[in-house]
């Protein structure tokens, strides 16, 4: 059976993406409910602090994934190639993300995160870990939407308010990543982790460690070189 015939038997990608968003919503609601149920009566500040730490972790993870796609691999590599291309094209055309609809914006992060979340839920019943996971996956599932809002000229009023309070990634903060050579401010959920990761030169140190292990940056002079934007990307506009 040819590649084309096999592809025609699969449901459209949007069906997978919409299904992943629904599953992710169910997993998040379940985790928050289980955390609430499992916490000792009267406990408030500890679970709230752990939700906050989960959000910080999700921000750091978003930065690490973004840095990896900016720095390693190639848009033509198997499996992760389209993922790498998405990040590199984003440097060339930052506004493209604002033209994505709700499913296209949020489908991929849910497709990647929901299987990890579902697996973790099978093994975790500790109230504190469940509280931390609530923050972690709240950030993970929303990072693409938050990133899109940071590029919009006119995001919803409540989002502008959240951006001003630095509860979600603000446009001026994220704009610093979009200045060449795109080597700082990788985190795109809340932006809270950017300060300490950049201060520690975390990603530069990680690059040196990986170079010692034989893994080298595929972008010239360690600079995330933008790729030319294709008018049509796998049937999508990006």
Stretch that binds Zn ion, among 19-27, 55-63, 65-73, 189-197 (CB under 5 A): 65-73
Binding residue count for Zn ion, defined by CB under 5 A: 2
Tokens describing residue 74: 């190639």
Least Cβ distance, residue 90 to Zn ion (angstroms): 6
Q: Which is nearer to Zn ion, 70 or 108 (CB)?
A: 70
Question: Do 190 and 174 touch, CB atoms closer than 8 A?
Answer: no
Stretch that binds Zn ion, among 20-28, 98-106, 177-185, 204-212 (CB under 5 A): 177-185
Least Cβ distance, residue 66 to Zn ion (angstroms): 5
Q: Which is nearer to Zn ion, 31 or 140 (CB)?
A: 140
Sign of CA dihedral 126, 128, 132, 137: positive
- 3-class SS shares of the chain: helix, strand, coil, % to 5: 65, 0, 35
> What is the C-alpha separation between 150 and 90, in angstroms, rounded?
13
Q: Which is nearer to Zn ion, 132 or 186 (CB)?
A: 186
Least Cβ distance, residue 97 to Zn ion (angstroms): 7
Least Cβ distance, residue 194 to Zn ion (angstroms): 12
The interface with Zn ion within residues 70-89 (CB under 5 A) comprises 70
Least Cβ distance, residue 216 to Zn ion (angstroms): 18
Question: Do 103 and 14 touch, CB atoms closer than 8 A?
Answer: yes
| Residue of closest CB approach to Zn ion | 70
Tokens describing residue 11: 């449901």
CA dihedral 184, 189, 139, 80 (to 10 degrees): -60
Least Cβ distance, residue 25 to Zn ion (angstroms): 24
Alpha helices (H) in 165-229, listed in sequence order: 171-175, 194-199, 202-212
Q: Which is nearer to Zn ion, 31 or 219 (CB)?
A: 219
Q: Which is nearer to Zn ion, 97 or 133 (CB)?
A: 97
Least Cβ distance, residue 174 to Zn ion (angstroms): 5
Binding mask of the shown chain, residues 97 to 136, with x at each position contacting Zn ion by CB under 5 A:
----------------------------------------
Tokens describing residue 19: 């299904």
> What is the C-alpha separation between 132 and 45, in angstroms, rounded?
12
Q: Which long-range contacts (CB under 8 A, 24 or more apart) does 197-206 make?
A: 197/60, 197/63, 203/63, 203/64, 203/67, 203/71, 206/67
Q: Which is nearer to Zn ion, 96 or 121 (CB)?
A: 96
Q: Which is nearer to Zn ion, 70 or 238 (CB)?
A: 70
Question: Where do contacts with Zn ion occur on this chain (CB under 5 A)?
Answer: 70, 182
């Amino acid at each position: 059976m040819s590649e084309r015939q096999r592809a025609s038997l699969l449901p459209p990608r949007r069906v997978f993406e919409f299904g992943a968003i629904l599953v992710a919503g169910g997993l998040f609601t379940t985790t928050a409910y289980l955390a609430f149920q499992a916490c000792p009566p009267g406990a408030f500040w500890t679970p709230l602090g752990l939700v906050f730490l989960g959000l910080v972790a999700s921000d750091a993870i978003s930065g690490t994934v973004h840095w990896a796609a900016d720095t390693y691999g190639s848009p033509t590599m198997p499996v992760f190639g389209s993922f790498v291309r998405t990040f590199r094209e984003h440097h060339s055309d930052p506004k493209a993300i604002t033209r994505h609809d709700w499913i296209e914006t949020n489908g991929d992060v849910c497709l990647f995160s929901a299987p990890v979340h579902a697996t973790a839920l099978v093994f975790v019943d500790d109230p504190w870990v469940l509280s931390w996971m609530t923050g972690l996956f709240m950030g993970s599932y929303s990072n693409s939407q938050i990133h899109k809002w940071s590029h919009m000229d006119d995001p919803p009023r409540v989002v502008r308010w959240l951006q001003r309070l630095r509860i979600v990634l603000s446009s001026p903060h994220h704009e610093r990543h979009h200045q060449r050579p795109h080597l700082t401010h990788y985190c795109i959920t809340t932006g809270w982790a950017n300060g300490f990761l950049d201060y520690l030169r975390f990603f530069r140190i990680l690059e040196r460690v990986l170079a010692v292990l034989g893994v080298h940056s595929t972008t010239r002079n360690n600079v995330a070189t933008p790729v030319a934007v294709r008018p049509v990307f796998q049937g999508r506009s990006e």
